[in-house]
Structure 1
Amino acid sequence: MVRFISFLLLIISFSASSTTLLVLGDSLSAGYRMPIENSWPNILPESLKKHGLIVNVINGSISGDTTGNGLDRLPDLLKQHTPDWILVELGANDGLRGFNPNIVEKNLEKIIRLSQENGTKVALMQILIPPNYGKRYAQAIESLYPKLAEQHQIPLLPFFLEHVILKQEWMMSDGLHPKAVAQPWIADFMADNIAPYL
């Protein structure tokens, strides 16, 4: 009986202290060309333990997704997982395809509002894109993120790829996606940046 009560208290304690984080992203978070268990969101719980946090991380990322794709999938993900937090890592594919920045901004705003209306706190990751379409376009995409973060008073997390891309041995031959070897560093980097909010 005593063992049962101790076990029950352990479950209650775990439930009370654990947090569910949904990562809504694209190939940068989906484990592009690698087993999904090697992707940084799947390693993130171990990295967050170093900060004394017990976090259940749901990787809701799909390679190739745009902000519009993420918005379409969001209602089902919120209903299925009821996350406490959502980390939005979207916009790179929009930028690479030359989408109008106003569309990207509206989609991200809808993602933020829908999440908040469902009682989910939102963290937004800064996205930077190559200057394929010119410096002005790249800056227009980049500037959306601090603007939205300020408007909605949500955390803006740094773009991990900005650091990873400096190490050629960590990048795939396409120059866009980190290899599996980079994923533990990314998980630690993201844990360091999101832990203060969780």
Structure 2
Amino acid sequence: MRWLSFLLVLTFSLQAHSAARLLIVGDSLSAGYQMSADQAWPSLLHQALQKYNRSVTVVNASVSGDTTGNSLARLPQLLQQHTPDYVLLELGANDGLRGFSPQIPEQNLAQMIDLITQSGSRVILMQIRIPPNYGQRYSKAFASIYPKLATEKQVPLLPFFLEQVILRPKWMKSDGHHPNEQAQPWIAEWMAQHLHPLLDQSATPEKRS
């Protein structure tokens, strides 16, 4: 019986050690706006990824209202604290909604990508699009910074999940900007579908060993 207990503990310890660590740095779209953290899609992502045989520890460091500048200021401590294998950047919507020049989020995201890469982690960037509050020209200029960064920095670019959610009004909060609780399981499944090819378990960095 003691040997069985030992083997079970050893098995779980090896699984925990081998699991890749994904740090999500985002805003209210990932933090779970006006809902408990365990309802937000990042809390459901671990289970969704298991369907693709991906063992991933998900750390959600998203903060509602964060701009790219806010997250850039927080990033060094987050990298030191969590030593992630992968970092998903879901940022920029608040910059756009506040009418910041597209150069600001572009420069901030570029710095974040460099910091993450220098730390030994891999970057996954999410495309962000904003409503045409400031005109189509601004919206297009803002959206274009993401494929530009992905190409220049050679990082994968994920589609913007909100573009799919917003087509289902029952999944949106009354403000028209944030997914509600009903949408979160679908977002987790959608994210797992797009993330799992990028999470190469055999390429987990050795910095935590």
Structure 1 unpaired stretches of 5+: none
Match of 2:44 in 1: 43
Whole-Å separation in 1 of the counterparts to 2:183 and 2:41: 8
Whole-Å separation in 2 of the counterparts to 1:99 and 1:161: 21
Secondary structure of 2:155 counterpart: coil
RMSD between aligned residues:
1.2
Match of 2:109 in 1: 108
TM-score scaled by length of structure 1: 0.96
Secondary structure of 2:197 counterpart: coil
Whole-Å separation in 2 of the counterparts to 1:12 and 1:179: 36
Whole-Å separation in 1 of the counterparts to 2:143 and 2:136: 10
Q: CA deviation at 1:8?
A: 5.1
TM-score scaled by length of structure 2: 0.91
Match of 2:146 in 1: 145
Amino acid in structure 2 at the alignment position of 1:107: N
Secondary structure of 1:108 counterpart: helix
Whole-Å separation in 2 of the counterparts to 1:96 and 1:4: 54
Match of 1:127 in 2: 128
Count of aligned positions: 198
Identity %: 55
Question: Structure 2 matches for 1:1-198, cutoff 5 A?
Answer: 2-3=3-4, 5-7=6-8, 9-198=10-199
Whole-Å separation in 2 of the counterparts to 1:120 and 1:15: 18
Whole-Å separation in 2 of the counterparts to 1:5 and 1:28: 42
Deviations 1:136-166 (A, max 9, x none): 1101110110111111111100100000000
Secondary structure of 1:172 counterpart: coil
Whole-Å separation in 1 of the counterparts to 2:116 and 2:95: 20
Q: CA deviation at 1:2?
A: 3.2
Q: CA deviation at 1:168?
A: 0.5
Match of 2:203 in 1: none
Whole-Å separation in 1 of the counterparts to 2:181 and 2:5: 42
Q: CA deviation at 1:9?
A: 3.8
Whole-Å separation in 2 of the counterparts to 1:5 and 1:74: 38
Structure 2 unpaired stretches of 5+: 200-209
Whole-Å separation in 2 of the counterparts to 1:17 and 1:47: 18
Whole-Å separation in 1 of the counterparts to 2:154 and 2:39: 32
Whole-Å separation in 2 of the counterparts to 1:163 and 1:3: 47
Secondary structure of 2:198 counterpart: coil
Name whichever of 167-176 and 5-14 sits farther off: 5-14
Q: CA deviation at 1:103?
A: 1.1
